[in-house]
Amino acid sequence: MSDIDWSLLKEHAVSAMKSAYVPYSKFPVGVAALVDDGRIVSGCNVENASYGLTLCAECGLVSNLTLSGGGRLVAFICVDLNQNYLMPCGRCRQLLQEHGGGKLAMMTDQGVKPLAELLPWAFGPEEMEKRLD
């Protein structure tokens, strides 16, 4: 984890946050992640008047990951309007689990933590494989 440029990831997350569409909550969120091939993908939240249809920044990131060639997420960062670190909700942690796994390095306000520590006993693709055998 020491070779991860967290400052660069934060720059990408802040840039993404500035593109967020948040006319209702006024709470922009930006995320960025390092992919195992060296790419950086990012995303921002996109609200909708029908609140349940709002897209989290992590959804945009996973979509960008898939669109740009896939791969595994290695490191992840999430920021708010004041560039404070945010922790993704449980739903979004599950999205990140699918594309990064338990070893995904997550920046928190308490330092870098593996996703496995932030989403214990996660349900992932390996569970599907075990259950379908």
Q: Which of 76, 17, 24 is nearest to 44 (CA)?
A: 17
pLDDT over 70 (residue 1): no
pLDDT at 104 over 60: yes
**Which residue in this structure is represented by tokens 């934060």?**
10
What pLDDT shows up at residue 47? 97
**Catalytic residue positions, numbered:** 58
Contact (CB, 8 A) for 86 and 48: no
Question: Average pLDDT, whole number, for the chain?
Answer: 94
**Domains and their CATH numbers in the chain:** 6-132 (3.40.140.10)
Q: 2: pLDDT confidence band, cut at 50, 70 and 90?
A: low
Q: What is the DSSP letter of 22?
A: -
Q: What percent of the chain has pLDDT over 90?
A: 86
Looking at the DSSP bridge assignments, the partners of residue 76 are 33, 106
Q: Retrieve residue 80's tokens.
A: 């708010």
Q: Which of 16, 86, 85, 89 is nearest to 46 (CA)?
A: 16
Tokens representing 99? 């594309």
